[in-house]
Amino acid sequence: MPELPEIETICRGLRSHLAGRRITRVEIFEPRLRHVIDPGLPGFLRGKTIIDVDRRAKYVVIRLENKNIWLFHLGMSGKLIHVSPNMPRQKHDHIVVTLDNLQELRYHDPRRFGLSLATSEPELDHLPQLRDLGLDPFDPSFNGQYLYSFTRGSRRRIRDLLLDQQIIAGIGNIYANEILSRVGVRPTVRSFRLTRETVARIAAMIPTVMNEAIRWCGTSFSDYRDADDKFGEFQNHLRVYDRAGERCRKCASTIKRIAMGNRSAFYCPSCQS
DNA sequence: CGGGCGGCCTGGAGGC
DNA sequence: TGCCTCCAGGCCGCCC
C-alpha cells in the first residue's frame, strides 16, 4: 500500500523516535509474511543500538550499530508504529520490539505481503529486492532524458511504465494516476507515442507530486498510517484517484475509472488526452 | 526479450 | 443477519 511519500513520512517519524535507542527485546508472533522471517532475526536485533532510519524506494532501512541493517517492505497493508507498551496488542501485530526506554516498535500487517530481514551495509545494494531498482525520483540524475530512454520505443502503457520499479523506484498506482492527471496524459497512452517534451513534463512532475504528498504526510486511502499511527492528508488533494463519478476539479467533467490489467486507472476524459 | 496476467493474503464494501 | 463477489496503494513468477 504505502508508496514513496508514505514510506518517507514513516521513516521521518521513526527516525525521531528510534535514533540512539537500544533494542532490548524482540517477539515474533507470526513469521509468515511474504517470506518466512528468519528465526535468527530476534538474536540479530537484541542488544543492538539503532543509529538511523532511512528510505530506499519503498523500503524502510533501519540502520543499526556496526553497519548492520534491519530492512522492511510494508507490502500493501504494513504499518510500522512506535507505541507505548500500554497500548493493547492488535490482531496482525506480527513483530513487537521493546526499546531501552520501554517504548515499543510494532510491525502490523493484515495481508502479510510485507518483508522483514536482517542484512548489512555492504550487502544492501546486492539484495535481489534492491539491486535492480531504478532511480529514486529525488536522485539528481533523474530527469526527462532518463525517462525518455525508457519510453522511447516501448509499447507499454505509460501508467504501467511509471509503476515499473526498475525504471523509477517509489511510484505506486495512486501517484502514477495523479502524476498523469497533472500533465494531461491518459494512463492508457502507449509510451512510444509520447514526445520527448511530454516525457520531460512527466519526469518533472514526478518529484513535484511526491514532495506535495510528503508535505501532507502521505495518502491514507485505507490502511496507511504514519509512525505514530496517524492519518495522512493527501487523500483530500487527489485529483483523479478513487474519484470515479466525481467532477474534475479543473473542468467539472466526470472522472472515469477503467480497468488496466489487474488495477484501476482514473482520469479526466477532457483534461487528459 | 517485452509485456500481460494470476497468485499471494485479509478485510471492508456493496448486492441480494 | 448472513453469504457472496469484488476490490485494494505491491511484488513475483509464469506464460506467450
* Averaged pLDDT, A197-221: 94
Is the CB of A165 less than 7 A from some atom of nucleic acid strand C?
yes
Q: Tell me, yes or no, whether A48 and A151 share the same domain.
A: no
Does a structural domain hold residue A131? Answer: no
* Averaged pLDDT, A78-104: 95
Report the nucleotide nearest the CA of residue A32, measured to C1'.
B9
The span from the CA of A7 to the CA of A131, in Å, is 19
Determine the Cα angle at A34 with ends A29 and A40, to 5°: 50
Residue A63 has pLDDT above 80, yes or no: yes
CA nearest neighbour of A11 among A41, A44, A64, A56: A56
The span from the CA of A146 to the CA of A113, in Å, is 31
Residue A27 has pLDDT above 90, yes or no: yes
Q: Tell me, yes or no, whether A93 and A148 share the same domain.
A: no
Mean predicted lDDT score pLDDT of chain A: 93
DSSP states along A34-96 = SSBPPTTHHHHHTTPBEEEEEEETTEEEEEEGGGEEEEEE-TTT-EEEEE-TTSPPPTTEEEE
Does a structural domain hold residue A134? Answer: no
pLDDT of residue A1: 63
Calculate the angstrom distance between C1' of C13 and CA of A85.
40
Residue A71 has pLDDT above 90, yes or no: yes
Is the CB of A155 less than 7 A from some atom of nucleic acid strand B?
yes
Q: Structural domain tally of chain A?
A: 2
Domain range for A262 is: 144-267
Q: Tell me, yes or no, whether A19 and A117 share the same domain.
A: yes
Q: Tell me, yes or no, whether A40 and A80 share the same domain.
A: yes
pLDDT over 70, % of chain A: 100
Calculate the angstrom distance between C1' of C11 and CA of A132.
13
Single residue among A124, A158, A193 that ends a domain in this structure: A124
* Averaged pLDDT, A42-67: 96
Rounded to two decimals, the pTM is 0.95
Per-residue model confidence as pLDDT tens digits over A117-144: 999 999 999 898 898 899 999 999 999 9
* Averaged pLDDT, A149-176: 93
Residues in CB range of A193: below 8 A, 6 or more apart? none
CATH number of the structural domain spanning residue A46 = 3.20.190.10
- The residues of A carrying an active-site annotation are 2-3, 58, 263
Is the CB of A254 less than 7 A from some atom of nucleic acid strand C?
no
Calculate the angstrom distance between C1' of C2 and CA of A89.
29
